[in-house]
Amino acid sequence: MADTDWRNQTEFILLGFPGSRYLQISLFMIFLLIYLLTFTGNTTIISLVWTHRCLHTPMYYFLCNLSFLEIWVTTAYIPKILANLMSQSKTISFPSCLLQMYFVFSLGCTEFLLLAVMAYDRYLAICHPLRYHSIMNSTLSTQLALGSWVGGFLTLSVPMFLIARLSFCGPTVINHFFCDIDSWIALSCIDTHLVEMVYIALSFIVVLESCAVTLGSYIHISSTIVRIPSAQGREKAFSTCSAHLTILVMLYSCSIFLYVKPSKQNSLDMNKMVSVFNTIVTPLLNAFIYTLRNKDVKEAGSKGKIK
C-alpha cells in the first residue's frame, strides 16, 4: 500500500444536510431535541436500575450497559452535527475524523455484542429457569458485559489501522453527517481492495454472527413460550422479550443494509438517510421502548415519583 499523506492534509468537510437556512435551523432544533431526550431517557433507565434493588438483575445490568452505550453513541454524532448546522464552516480535522470514526464503529460493534448477550440472557431465563441464577451469576454477567466492550473496540483496530493509511489526492468533501468508513473509501485515490475486504469480513462476523446468536436464542425462547400452559405465563414471558425484539428488528435491518455489502454498492445519499434512523433515532427509541413497554421499569419509575 502506498505511503499515506493524511498527515499533510489538514481537514475534511462534512457535507451533512445541505439546504436553506430555515432547514438548517429546523434540523438543529430536531437533533437537539433528540439528543436531550436520548440522554434523559437512557440516564433515567440507569438511575432507576441503580436505585431500585428489585432491578438488580443480570437483565437490567445489561440494559444499563446498553443505555450507557446509547448515550455515548449519540454524543459521538450529534454535537458535531449541531455545530455544523449552526456554522458556515463544515470542517473536521483528519485526526478528529479518524477518532470519531473509531468510536462510532467501535460502539456499534459493542452494541451488537451486547444485544446478543441480552438475547442469551433471556434464553437462559425462559428456557432454563431453574438453572438461570446459578449460570448467569454476577461473575458471568460482568465477564459478558466487559467482553462486549473490549471485543467491540478491539474489532475495529485492524480496519482503522488500514483506513488511517489511505491517501486522498482530490477533494476531501464527505457526503455524510459523520466520518463514515464508506465515505473515506469513496474519497481515497489508491487501491482500497484490502480495506474493503477486511471491512466486509468484520461486518459479516460482527453483524451476522451476533444476529445468528440472537436469532437462535429467540427460536428456542419462542418454542418454550408456546409450551407454557397458562396464558398469563406466556404473556409474562413474551413481555420480557418484546421490547428487545423491537430494537433488534430495527437495528439489524438497517445495519445489514448499511454494512453487510461491498462498501460502494449503495449511494452515499441513501446511506446517509438510513444512518440517521440507525444511529440517531434508534438510541432514542431504545430508551422509550424499554421504559414504556417494561412493567418492572414502569413500576420502579412510579415508586420513584411517589417518593
* Minimum mean pLDDT range among 66-80, 131-145, 283-297: 283-297
* Minimum mean pLDDT range among 64-68, 276-280, 286-290: 286-290
CA distance 168 to 4: 8
Residue 170's pLDDT is: 67
Residue 233's pLDDT is: 62
Residue 51's pLDDT is: 86
Q: Is 80 exceeded by the pLDDT of residue 267?
A: no
More confident of the two residues 130 and 260: 130
User: What does the pLDDT average to over 119-147?
Assistant: 92
Q: Is 50 exceeded by the pLDDT of residue 89?
A: yes
Residue 2's pLDDT is: 42
**CB contact at 8 A, 114 and 64:** no
CA distance 138 to 295: 23
Q: Is 70 exceeded by the pLDDT of residue 189?
A: yes
| Lookup: cell for 241 | 422479550
Q: pTM for this one?
A: 0.83
Neighbours of 174 (CB within 10 A): 23
Confidence of residue 11 (pLDDT cuts 50, 70, 90): confident
For 217-247, how does the pLDDT look when each residue is reduced to its tens digit (9 = 90+)?
888 888 887 777 766 666 666 666 666 677 7
Q: Which residues pair with 92 in a beta bridge?
A: 12
Q: Is 60 exceeded by the pLDDT of residue 52?
A: yes
More confident of the two residues 6 and 146: 146
Report the relative pairing of strands 173-174 and 11-14 from DSSP bridges: parallel
Domain ranges of the chain: 6-306
User: What does the pLDDT average to over 146-174?
Assistant: 86
User: What does the pLDDT average to over 12-40?
Assistant: 88
**CB contact at 8 A, 240 and 59:** yes
HEC secondary structure over 103-170? HHHHHHHHHHHHHHHHHHHHHHHHHCCCCHHHHCCHHHHHHHHHHHHHHHHHHCHHHHHHHCCCCCCC
More confident of the two residues 73 and 166: 73
For 136-152, how does the pLDDT look when each residue is reduced to its tens digit (9 = 90+)?
999 999 999 999 999 99
Q: Cell 486522498 appears where? A: 168
CA distance 124 to 288: 25
Helix axes 231-259, 209-225, angle to 10 degrees: 160
Architecture of domain 6-306: Up-down Bundle (1.20)
Neighbours of 291 (CB within 10 A): 19
